[in-house]
Amino acid sequence: MAKTNLHFLIPIFFLLLTFQSRAQNRTESNTDQVVDTLINIQEVVVKAFGSDKRLFDTPGSIGVLTNRQLIREPSFTLAPSVNKFAGVWMQSGSINTNRLTIRGIGTRSPYGTNKIRAYYGDIPLTNGVGETTLEDLDLEQMADIEIIKGPASGFYGSGLGGVLLFNPAKPNRTHFAQSISVGSFATVKYSGKLAVAAKNSSHSLVYSRFHSDGYRQNNETNRHNITLASTFTRKQTTVNLLGAFIQTEAFIPSSIDMKTYQATPKKAAANWAATRGYEEYKKAFGGMTVQQNFERNWLAKISIFGQFNKNNELRPFNILQEKNHYLGERSVLEKKIISGKITSRIMLGNEFFTENYQWQTLQNKDRAVGNLLSDNEEFRWYNNVFLLTDLTIEEQFVVSASLNWNRTSYRYEDHFLLNGDQGGEQKFPQIISPRIAASWIANEKFRLFSVISHGFSPPTLEETLMPGGLRNTSIKPETGWNFELGTKGSVGKSLFFELSAYYMKVKNLLVAQRAGEDEYIGINAGGTNHPGLEIKLDYRLINRPDWKTFFRMNSSFTRYRFADFTDKGNDYSGNKLTGSPEMLTNWMLETIHSKGFFLNLHYLTVGRMPLRDDNSIFTDAYSLANLMAGYEKMFKHFSIGISAGAQNLFDVRYASMVLINATAIGTQSPRYYYPGLPRNFKSAINLKYYF
């Protein structure tokens, strides 16, 4: 199949190379800016670590996804976009079930994303136990997404794998916009946006509605999003406001066994289909950031934020009802010092977070609420104090050093006392996490960088609980050290490259042992080693005023292994890390013409993955091809864009998400597989009117 796919891409590739077109001068078009933003991604200024440096000059491995790259995908999810970056791997079981991993961290999270932090502007999206929900966000409203690979605890707190920074879009012209996207499986998304740009302020209000019947049985999803963002600037003061509301109802097909996956992948798991299991929730979050500039290069910034979430989940074995809310603040004081050829920046900050989480389980009596089975309340706190300093010497050496102090604690209250009081408090030891990164700017075209960083991820409160009313007070946070050496550079005016080699050593590995259909036990079972090599190439095939085409390639080669790993008396030391492929490659062709035409091709290869810690079962390797093409036209006060594309062009059967170490319940076979989508299509129309 892979050979056939390559034969398909080759004629398109050469057709683009031989195609001739005329230049067109347009006074109202901003095509050149579009090309620069879309193609020359290394020139983008990143906000990671508060540096506002060019991506090319920032020491460390950071990926950037622009707004246009996000919306020019033949998909309605984030996964295909982030999977274009070496070292980043997002599995998608359905619209509402995803797992993001960075460099092998987070593979053991059963149904979601853990050990990776995320921020929307200055607002944390990660809860008090390190879990992040990414599928709620409306991607069309993002200016860009920055992906920091490797521990960034020195500035962002807990997050052993890395950090995602979602930067909201800020309008520069007053306009009203509408977009409608339709796709396979009765998928429809509508979005409406009102944006106001004034001299000292900007505001945007966005509403979107998403519906899909889904590819599988019991797979329907409905979601509503409302997002409000405002910015006010007066002299040296800037105020940013951000608020969002999400309402979702999503049915759950769950994972299936090997026989069902091969014969009838559209089927849902039998027990989930029988009860028509689903989750429905309402979520609201928001915050305010005030930034004040002072004389002598002083800057102060403080953010306050909060979130409320109410969730109801109907499951075959019970009904789960959840409510949680959190509040927090993040403050930073910055001083910039310029002395001769040396520029330094010092930042001192604090992030405090408190969360209340209430959850109950009740009997599922033919989809009706039955007797109470458990009644729980959790209180979660953490505090991060961080110090960061940057030093630039003669515009040749950049050194960034940071230090983070963390204190995390939980308190658990058991309100269902028929089986004894399981309540108690869990305080983890103080953790100090340093990060030091350096970059040598040899000349305009070559950079050499190195990073040493420490990361940590505390266990969830549920992982501290044991059956029979006991708590595991000896459980420890998962910690790790990351060592990285890399280079960024260009050859001539056409080729940009980035190469990085890293080694991460993780200890006190947190393992969730399944004790029942809805019961997991957390233990520290050893450690893992994460050596890897990442390669990125951007080659400019065509560079004309009216037509630009880039060929891009990136790949990651890894050898993740268990080190001193024992679970239930079985020694898995030396085995391959479960749920992580050893090789990922991306091949991309992106072209844009001044008349408004664009074409994007993406070819992804994924190596096989072990499904069990004993490495007895592996997934099959697979390759996917995606295509997206479109046209945009700008008038004086009006613009229109149309696009269409296909995902999984060659209708490959593959598992888009897996459940590692799946356990057979009763007479059932282990359910490892979430089937990936077959060939499917998406088309969209975007309209904007500028006032």
Please, which residues have CB within 8 angstroms of residue 263's CB and are 6 or more apart in sequence? none
| DSSP 3-state of 69 | helix
Dihedral over alpha carbons 76, 78, 79, 80 (to 10 degrees): 70
Q: In the predicted model, what is the mean pLDDT of the chain?
A: 88
| C-beta of residue 272 within 8 angstroms of C-beta of residue 257 | no
Q: Read out DSSP for 605-627? A: EE---BSSTT---BPPPEEEEEE
Dihedral over alpha carbons 151, 329, 67, 69 (to 10 degrees): 20
* Beta-strand pair 116-120/162-168: parallel
Mean pLDDT along residues 640-663: 95
DSSP 529: E
Lowest-pLDDT range of 209-218, 431-440, 450-459, 664-673: 664-673
pLDDT number for residue 521: 67
Neighbours of 259 (CB within 10 A): 9
Mean pLDDT along residues 396-419: 89
pLDDT number for residue 350: 96
- 670: closest CA among 519, 566, 514? 514
190 vs 417, more confident: 190
Helices (H), 621-678: none
Place of tokens 């440096």: 53
Which CATH superfamily includes the segment(s) 2-690? TonB-dependent receptor, beta-barrel domain (2.40.170.20)
Which residues are bridge partners to 117 per DSSP?
A: 163
* Beta-strand pair 221-234/237-251: antiparallel
- 56: closest CA among 547, 403, 391, 536? 536
Lowest-pLDDT range of 63-72, 443-452, 643-652: 63-72
Question: What is the distance, to the nearest Å, from the Cα of residue 349 to the centroid of all Cα atoms in its chain?
Answer: 24
DSSP 268: P
Task: Decide if pLDDT at 676 tops 80.
Answer: yes
Task: Decide if pLDDT at 611 tops 80.
Answer: yes
pLDDT number for residue 28: 32
Highest mean pLDDT among 51-65, 212-226, 482-496, 537-551: 212-226
Mean pLDDT along residues 451-463: 85
Mean pLDDT along residues 233-248: 95
| C-beta of residue 649 within 8 angstroms of C-beta of residue 626 | yes
Q: Which two tokens stand for residue 246?
A: 């999400």
Neighbours of 646 (CB within 10 A): 20
Please tell me the number of Cα atoms within 13 Å of 647 on its side-chain side: 22
Report the C-alpha gap between 79 and 355 in whole angstroms: 29
Is the dihedral angle over the CA atoms 465, 470, 472, 473 positive or is it negative? positive
Report the C-alpha gap between 364 and 477 in whole angstroms: 35
Dihedral over alpha carbons 471, 124, 64, 292 (to 10 degrees): -140
Lowest-pLDDT range of 195-199, 270-274, 417-421, 605-609: 417-421
Report the C-alpha gap between 249 and 280 in whole angstroms: 4
pLDDT number for residue 459: 83
pTM: 0.90
Report the C-alpha gap between 390 and 344 in whole angstroms: 5
Over residues 143-187, the pLDDT tens digits come to: 899 999 999 988 998 889 999 999 988 898 999 999 999 999 999
| C-beta of residue 583 within 8 angstroms of C-beta of residue 555 | yes
Local confidence band at 269 (pLDDT 50, 70, 90 cut-offs)? very high
Task: Decide if pLDDT at 541 tops 50.
Answer: yes
| C-beta of residue 497 within 8 angstroms of C-beta of residue 540 | no
pLDDT number for residue 26: 33
pLDDT number for residue 322: 94
| DSSP 3-state of 503 | strand
Please, which residues have CB within 8 angstroms of residue 62's CB and are 6 or more apart in sequence? 46, 48, 55, 146, 147, 148, 149
Task: Decide if pLDDT at 538 tops 50.
Answer: yes
| DSSP 3-state of 73 | coil
521 vs 659, more confident: 659
Local confidence band at 681 (pLDDT 50, 70, 90 cut-offs)? very high
Local confidence band at 21 (pLDDT 50, 70, 90 cut-offs)? very low
Place of tokens 């996917």: 624
Report the C-alpha gap between 515 and 603 in whole angstroms: 40
